[in-house]
Amino acid sequence: MYSIYMKRQAVFVAVVLALLVLAACGVATSSPRQPEDAPPPPTEPTETPVPATPPVTAPTEETQMPDPTAPTGDTPPPATDALATVSQEARTALAAYYTMRPDLLEFVSGEAQVWPDASLGCPDPAALYVPVETPGYRLLFTDGAQEFDVRTTDAGDVFILCRDGMPTLLPDLSGGDLVTGPESTEPTTATQTTPAPTGAAPADLIAAAQTAMADELGIVSDTLTLVRAEPMDWPDSSVGCPAPDEMYLQVITPGYLLIFSDGISDYPVHTARNGEILVLCRDGQRTVLS
């Protein structure tokens, strides 16, 4: 009996040991295997810094490229150049008429005009004018005490002083020397006695005008001195000194402006080129000498 009991005890111990061995092997081999096709574990994405782009702004007036075809400030418009030129010539002519220095006349304003006829907007009621539009300028000057309204063509070949609606033709001295005289604005009161060059007018015409002028004044011709001689293109046959009650041919009449002096007063004589017309013109008053 004892022997059977011992055998059973041994078998039980063997079974228990076998179970323990099998349990130990099962634990060692029971760790899960990762499948070969399994995807790798996900990773969190990392942010890559992107360089900032400066904002694009619309060009302003200050940053816009200049137009190469646009005129620059260094080149004034042609109209401005023409006005500056004709106003300087008009001031010279006005100063010559009043026998004063041009620098005593201040330019006030100037504007382009299209005159309805050749009177330049200041017609003489007794004269006839060609009814064609005439472009030109109206210029205002002042000596500080009064204003002078000067009308001119755009070419600056005719200058008219318009006073109380009546025209007075001014001498064109654009190619001559500036006049220097007293500071008075009263016409025909110059005391200049320096003889003028006689090459500007024929000698026989000057002599005839001097003799006719002396006869008019009742003095000896040698008492008179020629102080100015200028070629002129008078606007009509009145040679720049019309009488209110007379009619004149509206044609350009070439001639001369001759100014004589007796040392006290000046005597402007308007002539035709051939000497057939000699007119003393003082304060707009016409006196025919021949």
Q: What distance, in Å, lies between the first and last C-alpha atoms of the chain?
A: 195
Strands in the chain per DSSP E: 106-115, 134-142, 147-153, 159-163, 166-170, 225-234, 253-261, 266-272, 278-282, 285-288
How many angstroms separate the CA atoms of 36 and 14, rounded?
40
- Note the pLDDT tens digit of each residue in 29-75: 445 555 555 556 555 555 555 555 555 555 554 445 545 444 444 43
Whether pLDDT at 189 is above 50: no
Tell me, yes or no, whether 177 lies in a domain.
Answer: no
Q: Give me the pLDDT at residue 114, please.
A: 92
Does a structural domain hold residue 82? yes
Residue 151 to residue 158: CA distance in whole angstroms:
8
- Look at the chain and report how many structural domains it folds into: 2
Q: Using the 3D structure, point to which of 130, 150, 170 is the last residue of a domain.
A: 170
| Domain annotation covers residue 140 | yes
Dist. CA 26–CA 38, nearest whole Å: 25
Radius of gyration of the CA atoms of the chain, in A: 55
Same domain, 82 and 166: yes
The owner of tokens 């228990």 is: 16
Kindly state whether residues 158 and 221 are assigned to the same domain. Answer: no
Mean pLDDT of 267-277: 90
> Does 230 share its domain with 154?
no
pTM above 0.85, yes or no: no
Q: Is the pLDDT of residue 124 over 70?
A: yes
Q: Return the sign of the alpha-carbon dihedral for residues 5, 6, 7, 9.
A: positive
Please check whether residues 148 and 232 belong to one and the same domain. Answer: no
Q: Which residue has the higher pLDDT, 197 or 6?
A: 6
The number of beta carbons lying within 10 Å of the beta carbon of residue 8 is 10
> Domain with 265 in it: what CATH number?
3.10.450
Cα–Cα dist 255/201, whole Å: 9
Is residue 229 located within the same domain as residue 273? Answer: yes
On whether residue 165 sits in a domain, the answer given is yes
231 and 154 in a common domain: no
Provide the mean pLDDT of the chain.
75
Question: Helix, strand, or coil here: 110?
Answer: strand
Domain that holds residue 268: 198-288
Q: With CA atoms as reference, report the closest residue to 152 among 141, 144, 239.
A: 141
Q: Is residue 73 part of a domain?
A: no
Residue 179 covered by a domain: no
Is 188 part of any domain? no
Is residue 87 situated within a structural domain?
yes
Q: Are residues 85 and 158 in the same domain?
A: yes
Q: Are residues 128 and 203 part of one domain?
A: no
Task: State whether 210 and 150 are in the same domain.
Answer: no
Q: Which helix (H) or strand (E) holds 6?
A: helix 2-29
Instruction: Check residue 8 and give its pLDDT.
Output: 72
